[in-house]
Amino acid sequence: MHFTLYSRGYCHLCQDMLDALNAFQTPERPFTVDVIDVDADEALVARFDELVPVLFAGLDQPELCHYFLDENAVRRALAAQNPV
């Protein structure tokens, strides 16, 4: 499983979302997270600017959440990727 988090370096909400997401990590359900700084790319600033943090489980999928972690959306994404 892989997540992408669009973020900013100085954003406390971004760090809070990353910390909350990482709390879902278990040996049975491992995942990786790419943290992308939107300020490094003008196109990303134009797309996400004030929405950060924004979390995706797949870039071809709709966003899972923004501003705050939607724990239910993360659980659904993990369950879809790793059915029990």
CATH of the domain at 22: 3.40.30.10
Alpha helices per DSSP H over the chain: 12-22, 42-48, 71-81
What percent of the chain clears pLDDT 90, i.e. is strictly above it? 77
What is the biggest distance separating any 2 CA atoms in the chain, rounded to whole angstroms?
41
- How far is CA 58 from its chain centroid? 10
The range of the structural domain enclosing residue 69 comes to: 2-81
Contact (Cβ atoms closer than 8 angstroms) between residue 26 and residue 56? no
Residue 33 scores a pLDDT above 80 = yes
Average per-residue pLDDT in the chain?
93
* Mean pLDDT of the 27-55 span: 94
pTM: 0.91
Q: What is the dihedral of CA 60, 12, 16, 69, to 10 degrees?
A: -40
Residue 83 confidence (pLDDT): 62
Q: How many domains does the chain have?
A: 1
